[in-house]
């Protein structure tokens, strides 16, 4: 388990694929996938994932530091834990993905893409989560990312659509983890968190932590509050209550790039959560014109360079 990230980046399998410490047993399931089971688990299970996009390295470095702390006994693990580095090949290459965006492939959508390393990996990760949660029962799943663009809210969470309300403890943890905004989807998607939520009723959230940077160029101090909240979560300790009330948004509409004629009317410097007034033309795609439909909408993840048929941006409206 030690040097988890180093083995993954080297594409190597450790000589020992299982073992135990004074506090837990660990098993290396697959490349970048390790299960940790405490000798005396007292709390529900947790899935922590990062690196679904290979150029989003800050959460990977944070997760590696947490693994080292667990290995050395600095954190007393209180819950079954599955740790996942999502796309090792892309992490090694320093690219978002090698063939196609893996965070559009889950819930079996990988079958709709040309076969590649990423489709095979998405299938493997689905089976790993199924194996873990079938045994572990109710769980939280935190999938950690960074955004391509800078943001008016540098730390925010994106929640998949679900049929039942989110637990208040789960939402409350987000504020204690320093998240400044919460975004709620209204429709199913191909993300990793939608898969764990929809198939296993996990309390799932995609954490967006800052802007994508290469390994070694991240200022992890800006995520100290998030890291502290994760340490507390692993140990079953109370988080420091920040009395923070993140702003809440829901998806008002999705901008989809359907053809080569697609034009996004936003500059490359447009930040996440930039506000647009009602009637503003956001994008054009042949005869299709995307306009702001509410009094104010806020853009999230604007990207005109996605593959045809994929999301080129989300427009949000604030909710109470």
Cβ density class 168-205: b for 16+ within 10 Å, e for less: eebbebbbbbbbbbbbbbeeebbbbbbbbbbebebbbb
Burial of residue 39 (CB within 10 Å: 0-12, 13-18, 19+) is exposed
What is the C-alpha to C-alpha distance for residues 75 and 67, in angstroms, rounded to an integer?
Answer: 9
The span from the CA of 202 to the CA of 84, in Å, is 16
| Separation CA 292–CA 269 (nearest Å) | 19
293 is catalytic: no
Is residue 145 part of an annotated ligand binding site?
yes
- Strand-pair partners of 102: none
Residue of 208, 240, 250, 293 marked active site: 208
> 110: how many CB neighbours lie within 10 A of its CB?
23
Beta-carbon contacts of 267 under 8 Å, excluding residues fewer than 6 positions away, are none
SS (H, E, C) 234-253: HHCCCCCCCCCCCEEEEEEE
Binding-site positions for Zn(2+) read 53, 56, 145
Catalytic residues, by residue number, are 208
Binding-site positions read 53, 56, 145
């Amino acid at each position: 388990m030690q040097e988890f990230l180093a083995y993954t980046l080297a594409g190597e399998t450790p000589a020992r694929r299982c073992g135990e410490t004074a506090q837990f047993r660990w098993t290396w399931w697959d490349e970048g996938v390790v299960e940790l089971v405490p000798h005396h688990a007292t709390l529900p299970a947790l899935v922590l994932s990062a690196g679904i996009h290979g150029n989003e390295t800050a959460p990977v470095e944070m997760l590696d530091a947490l693994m080292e702390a667990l290995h050395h006994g600095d954190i007393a693990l209180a819950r079954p834990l599955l740790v996942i580095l999502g796309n090792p090949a892309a992490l090694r290459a320093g690219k978002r993905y090698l063939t196609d965006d893996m965070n559009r492939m889950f819930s079996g959508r990988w079958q709709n893409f040309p076969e590649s390393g990423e489709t095979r990996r998405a299938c493997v990760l689905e089976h790993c989560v199924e194996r873990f949660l079938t045994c572990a029962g109710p769980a939280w799943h935190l999938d950690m990312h960074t955004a391509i663009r800078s943001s008016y809210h540098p730390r925010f969470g994106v929640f998949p659509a679900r049929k039942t309300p989110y637990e208040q403890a789960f939402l409350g943890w987000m504020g204690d983890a320093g998240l400044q905004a919460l975004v709620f989807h209204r429709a199913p998607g191909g993300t990793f968190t939608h898969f764990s939520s929809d198939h296993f009723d996990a309390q799932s959230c995609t954490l967006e932590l800052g802007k994508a940077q290469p390994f070694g160029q991240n200022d992890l101090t800006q995520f100290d509050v998030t890291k502290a909240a994760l340490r507390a979560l692993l140990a079953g300790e109370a988080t420091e209550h920040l009395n923070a009330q993140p702003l809440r948004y829901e998806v008002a509409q999705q901008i989809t790039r359907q053809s080569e004629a697609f034009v996004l009317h936003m500059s490359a410097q447009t930040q996440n959560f930039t506000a647009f007034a009602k009637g503003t033309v956001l994008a054009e795609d042949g005869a299709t014109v995307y306009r702001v439909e509410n009094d104010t909408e806020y853009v999230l993840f604007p990207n005109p360079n996605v593959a045809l048929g994929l999301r080129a941006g989300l427009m949000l409206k604030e909710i109470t």
